[in-house]
Structure 1
Amino acid sequence: MINRKATAIWNGTGKEGTGVLSTQSTVLDKTQYSFNTRFADGKGTNPEELIAAAHAGCFAMKLSFELNGAGFTADELDATATVTLDPSLGQITKSHIDLKAKVPGISQEQFSEIAEKAKKECPISAVLNAEISLSAELLA
């Protein structure tokens, strides 16, 4: 088992309050978040942005492992995840991954199949109760 930990400290009301996030690795160390960073353009981060980063990172690493297992090594995997929060439902409803990849020697068919497998089997995809989509472009 692998356990990872993060801490959120919040002070004040939901709209006027502020919080900080810290991670075990200290990559985030009292990083600010607030109503404005979540629902407007305030300085700091927000939970949805962090989920998008986690999904993009997890997917890219899973895809790398899947490609290696099939005998390929990517020169570059550029994955951007866009998470959609529906405020009326209070839920994340979608996560879309845009992938641009440079993988020498792979066919488009092999690439598409392996990318779809990675999308389905990435641990963050598995934990999200949301529609997960993928646009995968194989670059020359």
Structure 2
Amino acid sequence: MTIKKTANSTWSGDIKTGKGSISTQSGALDKQPYGFNTRFEDEPGSNPEELVGAAHSACFSMALSLALGDAGFTADKIDTKATVSLDEVDDGFAVTHIALEVKARISDIANEQFQALCEQTKKGCPISKLLNTEMSLKATLDSAS
């Protein structure tokens, strides 16, 4: 079974003064603005790194819920924060690290078992696997007249 979800972004202008918008198939994001200032200057608005962080934290929480359920536990609450680090490297910029911070309330689980399930989930959640995924690209150039 393959599940496909889509997101779309549009960009106009140069890197520093240009503007973009992001939309998702579900409508959770609908022409959400983003730009250089929201990515590099801490201005309000979205950016690719926070979207990756949102996806990773949400996926991790859901995957941990599954792992807990398989082990016979149900969480009262799982709160996951993902901090995505974007660093300047030799050939431009790169996401160099994602720090996951999980706080959970679960009855009757030993800390050792919780830690083991978190480590298992860190390796196994679909967004964690994303960095090693196969990627395809189709590029079409519309000629400007």
- Which TM-score applies when normalising by structure 2? 0.86
Alignment partners' CA distance in 1, 2:45 and 2:34: 5
Asked which structure has the greater CA Rg, the reply is 2
Question: Paired residue for 1:112?
Answer: 115
Alignment partners' CA distance in 2, 1:59 and 1:119: 7
Alignment partners' CA distance in 2, 1:50 and 1:125: 14
Alignment partners' CA distance in 1, 2:111 and 2:50: 30
Question: Paired residue for 2:105?
Answer: 102
The reply on whether 1:127 has 2:130 as its aligned counterpart is: yes
Alignment partners' CA distance in 2, 1:44 and 1:90: 20
Q: Deviations over 1:55-92 (max 9, x none)?
A: 00000000000000000000000100000011234110
User: CA-atom RMSD, angstroms?
Assistant: 0.9
The reply on whether 1:57 has 2:61 as its aligned counterpart is: no
Question: Paired residue for 1:43?
Answer: 44
Alignment partners' CA distance in 2, 1:90 and 1:3: 28
3-state DSSP class of the match of 2:75?
Answer: coil
The reply on whether 1:77 has 2:99 as its aligned counterpart is: no
Q: How many residues align?
A: 129
Question: Paired residue for 1:29?
Answer: 30
Give the C-alpha shift of residue 115 in structure 1.
Answer: 0.7
| Identical amino acids, percent of aligned pairs | 50
3-state DSSP class of the match of 2:107?
Answer: coil
Question: Paired residue for 1:137?
Answer: none
Question: Paired residue for 2:67?
Answer: 66
Amino acid at match of 1:58: C
* Runs of at least 4 residues off by over 6 Å: none
Alignment partners' CA distance in 2, 1:42 and 1:71: 44
